[in-house]
Amino acid sequence: MFRTTDGGNNWVKVSANDEIHNVTAIAQDPRPGFQNIWYYGTGERLGNSAVLGGFNYFGNGIGKSTEKWLNMESNSRNAV
């Protein structure tokens, strides 16, 4: 996962080096008072944008940020 604070001119990697950096889903917690919580997921069960047709793309699980993407928590036990 990468983070920008200047509209996309510069990017900084915030996920761990040993994690898959291809993200296939991002979601923000919509509840009032929880909008600073973001989740991201890796992997696709069938197909991906790099290959036409079907190909399983195994991910590294679900990641979570509660500090504006400054620190990432991952749960590779939930890998797809």
Q: Please state the rounded mean pLDDT for residues 36-64.
A: 72
Average pLDDT for residues 21-26, to the nearest whole number?
Answer: 79
Q: Is the pTM of this model over 0.85?
A: no
- Residue where the block lists tokens 């195994």: 58
Domain that holds residue 42: 1-80
Question: What value does the mean pLDDT take over residues 46-68?
Answer: 69
Share of the chain above pLDDT 70, in %: 64
Q: How many domains does the chain have?
A: 1
CA distance 9 to 37: 24
pLDDT at 6 over 80: yes
Q: Is residue 22 pLDDT above 90, yes or no?
A: no
CA angle in degrees (0–180, nearest 5) for 4-74-43: 85
